[in-house]
Amino acid sequence: MSITVELVDIDFLKPLELVFNSHFNNLEKMILDNGYIVKPIIADKNTGTILDGSHRYAFLVKNGYLTAPVHFVDYLSDNIRLGTKLKHRFLVDDDISLTKDECIKRAEEGNLLPPRTTRHFFSFRKKDFIVKLSELGKGYPKDIGFLLFEHSVNYELEHNINYIKELDEEVDVIVNYLAELNETKRYIQEQIVLIKETKEVAFFPGKFHPPHLGHLKTILKIMPAYNKVIVGISGDIPDDPMITQDEVFSTLEEFFDRYENIEIQMFSGRLIDKPDTTGLPLFDVVISGNPAVLAWANSINIKNQHVDRSLGELSSSYIRKI
């Protein structure tokens, strides 16, 4: 999801949380020194409730700016989640005491929460979107006492220390989650290996004098169903040859070189004259569109399967005749 930022009338926005004094003062100095705001405020498009950027909002109000850079979202969408701890990004438990409706009500009534009470999780990454202060319009400075949280410096310091602990807690959750993902990945990889092992090795014999597009299309058509397809080039050379067995081998090997589960092999003699599979590669099933080949396989109790020859292509014998 891409972030769109628009300049919004500051009066439309409604704060949800109070702000820390020291944090605010440090942020104010940084923004004034830079002359720009780095990240937009994130707010509900329907109510103006601020979900992220309370301190930036306080800065704009205090310094009299008329507009604010805002990325609007639909707060009630399932794509936005509410928590009270960072770990709630991944884990949902019973200690989430707030609801979205309560947050909206507090913002509308001005009954603000303490700083960093909420944790809002979005379906997008919060990216930098620099907006110069000169683009925001300037009015008169305002008192922001209603936004400041009354506390001691030690309280804010302790809060920051606890927030770092919360970050560490989230890191632990992420590490455990990654370990779970890696375990799932390992399991699926094992399943892939086992599934491949159960897939049969197919033997697709033929003269291929010469190889043509129909052969290639048929082989590619059956390939996904088998662990490996062995293309067997018969030594039964036609009476009207136009290519040697070695040349057939080179042609097919060059074409299928990119496919890991297609293997090209040559065998001597005429397949249907063989009394058994001696001299042939190891395979589980014969695939062919030639009735004579399927009859041979049945005669010696070899598993076989008929495949329709790719239509619309010239046959090898017709090519030789031409």
Q: What is the per-residue pLDDT across 207-227, written as a single tens digit (0 to 9) for each?
A: 998 898 889 999 999 999 999
For the stretch 98-157, pLDDT in tens is 899 999 999 999 999 999 999 999 988 888 889 999 999 999 999 999 999 988 778 788
Altogether, the residues listed in the chain come to a count of: 322
Q: Are residues 11 and 68 in contact, defined by beta-carbon separation less than 8 angstroms?
A: no
Closest CA relative to residue 272, chosen from 209, 206, 226 = 206
The answer on pLDDT for 318 being more than 70 is: no
Fold topology of 199-321: Rossmann fold (3.40.50)
Higher pLDDT, 232 or 196: 232
The pair of three-digit structure tokens given for residue 53, joined into one six-digit string = 């950027």
Could you tell me what percent of the chain has a pLDDT over 70?
A: 94
Q: Residue 260: CB partners within 8 Å, gap ≥ 6?
A: none
Domain boundaries, the chain: 6-151, 199-321
Task: Quote the distance between the C-alpha of residue 229 and its chain's center.
Answer: 31
For the stretch 53-75, pLDDT in tens is 999 999 999 999 999 999 999 99
312 — alpha (psi -120 to 50), left (phi > 0) or beta?
left
Q: Is the peptide bond before 224 cis (omega within 30 degrees of 0)?
A: no
- At 20, is the pLDDT very low, low, confident or very high (cuts 50, 70, 90)? very high
Per the DSSP assignment, residues forming a β-bridge with 14 are 49
Report strand pairing: 131-132 vs 201-206: unpaired
Q: How far lies 204's CA from each of 62, 146, 201, 254, in Å? A: 80, 82, 10, 17
Q: How far is residue 136's CA from residue 143's CA, in Å, rounded to a whole number?
A: 19
Identical topology for domains 6-151 and 199-321: no
Q: How far is residue 232's CA from residue 290's CA, in Å, rounded to a whole number?
A: 14
Q: Residue 300: CB partners within 8 Å, gap ≥ 6?
A: 275, 276, 277
**Class of domain 6-151 as given by CATH:** alpha beta
- pLDDT score, position 301: 95
- At 320, is the pLDDT very low, low, confident or very high (cuts 50, 70, 90)? low
Per-residue pLDDT, averaged over 1-7, amounts to: 84
Q: How far is residue 162's CA from residue 300's CA, in Å, rounded to a whole number?
A: 77
Question: What pTM does this model have?
Answer: 0.59
